[in-house]
Chains A and B, each alone.
Chain A
Amino acid sequence: MNMHASRRDILKGTGSLIVSFSFAGAISETLAQGAAATKPLALTEVDSFLAIDAKGKVTVYSGKVDLGTGVRTALMQMVADELDVSMQNINLIEGDTATTPAQGTTWGSLTIQLGGIQLRNAAAVARQALLEEAGKRLNTKPENLRVSNGIIFGGPRRLTYGELIGGKQFNLKVDHTKPPKRKDPKEYRVVGKSVPRVDIPAKLTGTFTFIHDFRVPGMLHGRVVRPPVFGAKLQSVDESSIKHIPNARVVRQGDFLAVVAETEWNAIRAARALQANWSKAETLPDPDKLWEYVRTSKIAKDEEYGKVGDSAAAMAGAARKVNATYDFAIHTHGSIGPSCAVAEFKDGKLTSWSASQATHNLRNQLAKMFGLPPADVRCIYLEGSGCYGRNGHEDAAADAALLAKATGRPVRVQWSRGDEHIWDPKGPPTLIDMRAGLDPSGNIIAWEHESWIPQQTPGGFHVPLIAASLTGMPADDHIAPGNIFQNAAPGYKFPNARSVCHRLETTPFRPSWIRTPGRMQNTYANECFMDELAAQLNIDPIELRLKYLDPKEERGIEVLKRLKTLAKWETRPSPRRNVSGNIVRGRGMSYVKYENSRTYVATVCDVEVNRTTGEIRVPRFYVVHDCGQIINPDGLRNQIEGNVIQTLSRTLIEEVKFDRSRITSVDWETYPILTFPQVPEIIMDLVDRPNAPPWGAGEPAAAVIPSAVSNAVFDATGIRVRSVPFTPDKVKAAMKGAA
């Protein structure tokens, strides 16, 4: 007897289970969404976003998904206010290609800024239509009506939304380029409030269904067996090596190797026991010469950003020149829960359940891979462990689909810790040269930023699916590191400036975007270099920034001024004078206007550096943040805290290590991250602008962290650290070099 059958026996049996078995509940709910299969999906239709049933229950269809950031609650707040219904009356469906509009990948801090605004627009059109219909029925003008919680009051008479529209479609257009009249923010009741997140009680009581908990009747458990080194070819498989494991079998297609079994543990055992021969391969660069490799990689094209005047001529005529080189290590996403997906083929159609942040893209990739029309592939989002970008979820979805196709059964694939650390796509290595020219009076007359970063091939953001690559199945792949050119241009007004991004043909590992992609690395170089110039000029770092900010950047200037107050900033040049002792303290700052177009963040970082060990301790950050209209202040604080702590981990510790054949950072011992004893205190000042558009907050605060830490280390020690992560060894080496 296998475990699956025995589990069912228990369910039918004596009722000795403690907690009701609710996985089955999750599937029926999800499948029931199929009932809405006739609903429109176009971004121009109100019905794509909203449905109201006869009881007045509102279903919101969001193509943007909650990746563990709490944005589900924020989107519900936005709809609740715009439509005049209570939060409790809203059910939000996320990322289902059959029912939700394609609002784009959930990335780039755009869920509220773009997705939420589209929901608001749809809700505003719907509410106005409901008022007009109620006016007709109550024989009065819409402006004489009042709405509360989905009930329209017209004098003594009332009509509910359910009575007016219940179960029917609006059949109305919404034009996001010419948005409808929305409410005056003064009328918002839940927007701007710290509404508790709707998912947290279930997450604290074991009742929340992550993708990892999702089950389909009759499904098998799959485990992938990846090549031991990159580029290895599968030469032979000894299937008899797993014959002692009940109901386990091998699936092999090209260099794709996997096992399936009726129970998860047997799948794990089989994956561990399976004997296979692979060819040797050495496809990776020498890790000790990584930056030489990057600097000499073939350039696909050069891109230029932020060009003003003639920086080369100004540099040539400069009285003083300053230059510095910054590098930023390869990072993994490091989700705590390794990627997982479930797939089922039925009547030639594929249903894929995953935690993909881009179900609509994934559908196109899976359709291509299996030669299906996209209409025959349905991708459904279920929340996963935080992914911080394009991690392995999509690859697990492809693995599961391949195994489901091969076995004729639904298959759940759960990656191991090693699968996740080794095989998730990586944040690429980033190398940036900075140069500036100063005139005799100490004005910055030339600014140059030159980076070596992988190209983004045209046409889309299809990070290659591992299963398609290993099998040679059809694919429409891109080198897709994300929009990593953003913030290459300086956020300051210099008379001559130029940022050149050398977009490289290749990078050592399959790249993808990790939280604040490119914006973090570019801001790190720009803001460290700004600090270097301030020190060269013997000017306070905030004063130098204020000097070069465009006076029209009133919000940026306000953020910097508020930062001085929040952090009790002592105006003085860096480094600190007269430091002594083994533990030295300093503070550094950094500023960004995210993508040079939206959310403003400024931070001060306090550090303590141990001059013997080279260890950096960061007791505290101060953050001032202006993302316009704040939807949920506590949710925003949570995101800023996460940005700061996660990025401090990336800045001080994280680095993917490798040799010529393989990644050697395979788990949390070999790819350590920040732990509780190293967690800084975070003191915040949120600038709320209720009448401004709501901008993103999932990434911007991360952009300023590496530079603030580096600048603080300089303030404490007089030493520049220009290579992320700032490990004790690097700090010691820098101090030795300076001594």
Chain B
Amino acid sequence: MALSKSLNVNGRQVSIQIDDPEMPLLYALRENLGLKSPRFGCGLEQCGACTVHINGRVVRSCVKPLKEVRPNDRIVTLEGLGNLQNLHRVQRAFIEEQAVQCGYCITGMAMEAAALLARNPNPTDAQIKQALSHNLCKCGTHARIIRAVKRAARYA
């Protein structure tokens, strides 16, 4: 039987219909709400491509069951961080550093970086590497991503 679920996504309250409260948040965002940035990479919280913020903290949406998400939990995806007309400093810095190859992992990198800068405005290289150490990239974009996070820190 379909269930109604209320979510607060990118500042808006939305209602979705689901069959299964165990469904991970990732599928609600992608399939019910049509958001593209949270990406399916592993479904095992190993790669970080699905990363979103809930109440300012990074969450791997691929393993976050909807039943654990409350209606007033503030979910923010990359789309909610900023848009082309009004870029978040992390988005701006990643674009300026051209810190993308295929870009499949880049959602997670940007979301992780935004959370890092919110709690540590001036991270060292080692802190950046540590913060991103559970976000995987296979193209080898790491060096640029580190530069982009440092650049974003300067835009505070």
Verify if A263 is at the interface (C-beta below 8 Å from B): yes
Q: Please give, as numbers and ranges, the residues of chain A lying within 8 Å of B133 by CB-CB distance.
A: 675-677
Instruction: Report the bound CA distance from A197 to B95 in whole Å.
Output: 9
Chain A positions 1 through 37: 1 when the CB is less than 8 Å from some CB of chain B, otherwise 0: 1110111011000001111011100000000000000
Contact in complex: A668, B136 (CB < 8 Å): yes
Contact in complex: A265, B140 (CB < 8 Å): no
Chain B positions 71 through 115: 1 when the CB is less than 8 Å from some CB of chain A, otherwise 0: 000000111101110010001001100101111111100100000
Given contact pairs A386-B138, A641-B143, A336 touches B16 in the complex (Cβ within 8 A): no
- Which of B19, B20, B23 has most A Cβ within 10 Å? B19
Verify if B9 is at the interface (C-beta below 8 Å from A): yes
Contact in complex: B143, A212 (CB < 8 Å): no
Contact in complex: A10, B14 (CB < 8 Å): yes
Q: From residue B153, how far is it (CB to closest CB) to chain A in Å?
A: 16
Which of A63-71, A85-93, A356-364 faces chain B? A63-71
Query: Looking at the complex, which one of A209, A669, A676 makes contact with B146 (CB distance below 8 Å)?
Result: A676
Instruction: Report the bound CA distance from A384 to B104 in whole Å.
Output: 8
Verify if B36 is at the interface (C-beta below 8 Å from A): yes
Verify if A204 is at the interface (C-beta below 8 Å from B): yes
Q: From residue B60, how far is it (CB to closest CB) to chain A in Å?
A: 12
Smallest CB gap from A679: residue in B: B142
Instruction: Report the bound CA distance from A220 to B26 in whole Å.
Output: 18
Q: Please give, as numbers and ranges, the residues of chain B lying within 8 Å of A334 by CB-CB distance.
A: 138
Given contact pairs A16-B14, A17-B33, A18-B9, A206 touches B107 in the complex (Cβ within 8 A): yes
Q: Name the prevailing secondary structure of the B interface residues.
A: loop
Contact in complex: B84, A201 (CB < 8 Å): yes
Q: From residue A67, how far is it (CB to closest CB) to chain B in Å?
A: 7
Contact in complex: A676, B102 (CB < 8 Å): no
Verify if B122 is at the interface (C-beta below 8 Å from A): no
Chain B positions 26 through 45: 1 when the CB is less than 8 Å from some CB of chain A, otherwise 0: 01001111111101111110
Contact in complex: A265, B19 (CB < 8 Å): yes
Q: Please give, as numbers and ranges, the residues of chain A lying within 8 Å of B130 by CB-CB distance.
A: 676-677
Contact in complex: B14, A196 (CB < 8 Å): no
Q: From residue A259, how far is it (CB to closest CB) to chain B in Å?
A: 15
Contact in complex: B105, A1 (CB < 8 Å): no
Verify if A642 is at the interface (C-beta below 8 Å from B): yes
Q: From residue A214, how far is it (CB to closest CB) to chain B in Å?
A: 10
Contact in complex: B105, A676 (CB < 8 Å): no
- Which of B37, B79, B133, B137 has most A Cβ within 10 Å? B137
Which of A313-321, A494-502, A643-651 faces chain B? A643-651
Contact in complex: B138, A646 (CB < 8 Å): yes
Instruction: Report the bound CA distance from A245 to B11 in whole Å.
Output: 32
Query: Looking at the complex, which one of B30, B83, B101, B132 makes contact with A386 (CB distance below 8 Å)?
Result: B101
Q: From residue B35, how far is it (CB to closest CB) to chain A in Å?
A: 6
Verify if A177 is at the interface (C-beta below 8 Å from B): no
Verify if B46 is at the interface (C-beta below 8 Å from A): yes
Q: How many residues from B make CB contacts under 8 Å with A?
A: 73
Smallest CB gap from B66: residue in A: A265
Instruction: Report the bound CA distance from A337 to B44 in whole Å.
Output: 13
Interface hits, A492-510 → B, CB 8 Å: none
Instruction: Report the bound CA distance from A65 to B49 in whole Å.
Output: 23
Verify if A291 is at the interface (C-beta below 8 Å from B): no
Instruction: Report the bound CA distance from A335 to B102 in whole Å.
Output: 10
Q: Please give, as numbers and ranges, the residues of chain A lying within 8 Å of B41 by CB-CB distance.
A: 336-338, 385, 417
Q: Please give, as numbers and ranges, the residues of chain B lying within 8 Å of A238 by CB-CB distance.
A: none
Query: Looking at the complex, which one of A68, A266, A679 makes contact with B102 (CB distance below 8 Å)?
Result: A68
Q: Please give, as numbers and ranges, the residues of chain B lying within 8 Å of A681 by CB-CB distance.
A: 143
Smallest CB gap from B62: residue in A: A417
Contact in complex: B31, A668 (CB < 8 Å): no
Instruction: Report the bound CA distance from A147 to B107 in whole Å.
Output: 41
Smallest CB gap from A6: residue in B: B17
Query: Looking at the complex, which one of B13, B17, B36 makes contact with A213 (CB distance below 8 Å)?
Result: B36
Verify if A305 is at the interface (C-beta below 8 Å from B): no
Verify if B144 is at the interface (C-beta below 8 Å from A): yes
Contact in complex: A206, B77 (CB < 8 Å): yes
Query: Looking at the complex, which one of A69, A416, A668 makes contact with B46 (CB distance below 8 Å)?
Result: A668
Verify if A203 is at the interface (C-beta below 8 Å from B): yes
Contact in complex: B98, A204 (CB < 8 Å): no
Verify if B124 is at the interface (C-beta below 8 Å from A): no
Instruction: Report the bound CA distance from A449 to B26 in whole Å.
Output: 51
Contact in complex: A203, B100 (CB < 8 Å): yes
Instruction: Report the bound CA distance from A641 to B143 in whole Å.
Output: 7
Interface hits, A376-429 → B, CB 8 Å: 383-386, 388, 414, 416-417
Verify if A634 is at the interface (C-beta below 8 Å from B): yes
Q: From residue A302, how far is it (CB to closest CB) to chain B in Å?
A: 35
Verify if B58 is at the interface (C-beta below 8 Å from A): no
Query: Looking at the complex, which one of A203, A206, A212 makes contact with B35 (CB distance below 8 Å)?
Result: A206
Contact in complex: A679, B101 (CB < 8 Å): no
Q: Please give, as numbers and ranges, the residues of chain A lying within 8 Å of B145 by CB-CB distance.
A: 676
Instruction: Report the bound CA distance from A648 to B54 in whole Å.
Output: 35
Verify if A739 is at the interface (C-beta below 8 Å from B): no
Instruction: Report the bound CA distance from A383 to B110 in whole Å.
Output: 20
- Which of A385, A635, A677 has most B Cβ within 10 Å? A385
Q: From residue B93, how far is it (CB to closest CB) to chain A in Å?
A: 9
Verify if B2 is at the interface (C-beta below 8 Å from A): yes
Contact in complex: B44, A207 (CB < 8 Å): no
- Which of B12, B18, B31 has most A Cβ within 10 Å? B31
Contact in complex: A642, B44 (CB < 8 Å): no
Contact in complex: A206, B95 (CB < 8 Å): no
Verify if A38 is at the interface (C-beta below 8 Å from B): no
Contact in complex: B103, A3 (CB < 8 Å): no
Verify if B128 is at the interface (C-beta below 8 Å from A): yes
Q: Please give, as numbers and ranges, the residues of chain A lying within 8 Å of B36 by CB-CB distance.
A: 22-23, 206-210, 213
Given contact pairs A16-B15, A386-B138, A203 touches B103 in the complex (Cβ within 8 A): yes
Contact in complex: A204, B15 (CB < 8 Å): no
Verify if A205 is at the interface (C-beta below 8 Å from B): yes
Given contact pairs A1-B17, A18-B10, A336 touches B43 in the complex (Cβ within 8 A): no
Contact in complex: A196, B98 (CB < 8 Å): yes
Interface hits, A101-152 → B, CB 8 Å: none
Q: From residue A297, how far is it (CB to closest CB) to chain B in Å?
A: 30
Contact in complex: B84, A638 (CB < 8 Å): no
Given contact pairs A21-B34, A196-B95, A6 touches B138 in the complex (Cβ within 8 A): no
Q: From residue A12, how far is it (CB to closest CB) to chain B in Å?
A: 13
Q: Please give, as numbers and ranges, the residues of chain B lying within 8 Å of A643 by CB-CB distance.
A: 140
Given contact pairs A205-B84, A263-B19, A676-B129, A336 touches B137 in the complex (Cβ within 8 A): yes
Q: From residue A112, how far is it (CB to closest CB) to chain B in Å?
A: 16
- Which of B84, B91, B142 has most A Cβ within 10 Å? B142
Contact in complex: A676, B138 (CB < 8 Å): no
Q: Please give, as numbers and ranges, the residues of chain A lying within 8 Å of B91 by CB-CB distance.
A: 204-205
Contact in complex: B43, A417 (CB < 8 Å): yes
Contact in complex: B141, A638 (CB < 8 Å): yes
Q: Please give, as numbers and ranges, the residues of chain B lying within 8 Å of A667 by CB-CB distance.
A: 42, 44, 46
Verify if B118 is at the interface (C-beta below 8 Å from A): no
Verify if B117 is at the interface (C-beta below 8 Å from A): no
Q: Give the interface of B toward A (CB within 8 A).
A: 2, 9-20, 23-24, 27, 30-37, 39-44, 46-47, 49, 77-80, 82-84, 87, 91, 94-95, 98, 100-107, 110, 126, 128-130, 132-146
Residue pairs across A and B with Cβ atoms less than 8 A apart, 16 shown, are: A16-B14, A17-B12, A19-B34, A68-B102, A68-B139, A69-B101, A204-B103, A205-B91, A213-B36, A265-B23, A268-B43, A269-B20, A335-B104, A336-B47, A641-B141, A674-B142
The 3 lowest CB-CB distance pairs between A and B, nearest first, are: A68-B102, A206-B37, A645-B140
